[in-house]
Amino acid sequence: MKTAYTMFERLISDGKKETDRLIATLESESLYMDYKGKSYKDEDDLSKDDMLNLDKALSGYANTEGGVLIWGIEKKDGVLGSYVLIEQPEAFVERLNTVTPGRVSPSVDGVRHEVVFSGTDGGVVVTYVPQSESTPHRSVGKSGQYYKRHGGNFLYMEHFEIEDMFGRRARPKLGMDVSIRKVVDSRPDPTYALTVNIFNDGKAISQLYGFDLEFIDKLVAGVPVVTNRPGMRNGAHVVDGICTLKYRNGRHDEDSRPIYPGETIVITPNNHKLGHIQFKMSDTQFDAWKDFELGYKVYSENMLPQGGTVRFGNLFLGSDE
């Protein structure tokens, strides 16, 4: 549920439908998203401009919070305009995969290049770069620079920022996985269950952690964990019609447990602080709420809060039956 990866998954799953939406809504470049056309002025399949754009994305996104670079869409003044489709997008992806490991030092783990869609006139490609724990990353191309992502731009890192990254101690890096599964196919209102996992992709143990997750209040209004106590640490807090599920793990809690690097723990339904969150929902309700954007935020000591949004309809998995 990291913001950059959520964008990447949406592009891969929705394809041209999602890029059409980006263009129709004139969605601007942001901290997590950039647009680039491919240059064909050189005979090489990746021009100098292409290499520089790749270098900036690899270094800049890895040194900050990760992001996606969409190849094949034209922009003007940071705002989308129209498609400038990539010729032979599959071959373009192969070439990106070949050159990526050697474009920055140290190389960035977890980079992915995928075809968003492809047709007779060309296609669109997306590059996903995760936030890195091995910062800082420097371009080994002609620029030889350390980049960072700031707003909708890639900027040179200041000397003190580079020094800070070299001296940075290991930190936890928590994220959330949220899913909904049908558990009882009772018509007309099947029963669904919510699952929340917390994972640690960092290099340090997380002892104090928690999350906030917005949910549709009508679905959890009857769940025993719901309360209106503003100072609550665990449960659901409803304000102005918005239900926020809250979880906090304290160092001195009786059932407190750390999250080790590379580990994932299940908060609900296994943890008694939130218990089992189940709800009934009709097909009509699903259609009405499937595009509802749920905000989330995950916390840990020695880590800046990480958050974003996810569509309610994208959380649903297959049935248990």
Round to whole Å and give the CA distance between 86 and 50. 12
Confidence tier at 59 by pLDDT (50, 70, 90): very high
Confidence tier at 233 by pLDDT (50, 70, 90): low
**pLDDT over 80 at 80, yes or no:** no
Give the pLDDT confidence score for residue 118 in this predicted structure: 94
Confidence tier at 154 by pLDDT (50, 70, 90): very high
Confidence tier at 318 by pLDDT (50, 70, 90): low
Confidence tier at 320 by pLDDT (50, 70, 90): very low
Across all residues in the chain, what is the average pLDDT?
Answer: 84
Give the pLDDT confidence score for residue 231 in this predicted structure: 44
**What is the number of residues in the chain?**
321
SS3 77: coil
Round to whole Å and give the CA distance between 128 and 297. 21
Give the pLDDT confidence score for residue 263 in this predicted structure: 94
- Residue that wins the pLDDT comparison between 78 and 246: 246
pLDDT tens per residue, range 192-214: 888 999 999 888 899 889 999 98
Round to whole Å and give the CA distance between 101 and 221. 50
- Report yes or no: 155 and 148 within 8 Å, Cβ to Cβ: yes
Round to whole Å and give the CA distance between 215 and 194. 10
Give the pLDDT confidence score for residue 230 in this predicted structure: 43
* φ, ψ (nearest 5 deg) of residue 184: -140, 120
Residue 148: C-alpha distances to residues 132, 155, 171, 203 (Å): 12, 5, 19, 21
**pLDDT over 80 at 9, yes or no:** yes
pLDDT tens per residue, range 255-287: 678 999 999 998 887 766 676 778 888 888 889
Kindly report the pTM of this predicted structure. 0.56
Give the pLDDT confidence score for residue 216 in this predicted structure: 81
Residue 321: C-alpha distances to residues 157, 182, 183, 316 (Å): 53, 8, 7, 14
**pLDDT over 60 at 95, yes or no:** yes
- Residue that wins the pLDDT comparison between 218 and 104: 104
Give the pLDDT confidence score for residue 44 in this predicted structure: 56
* From 115-129, 132-146, 155-169, the region with the lowest mean pLDDT: 155-169
Give the pLDDT confidence score for residue 259 in this predicted structure: 92
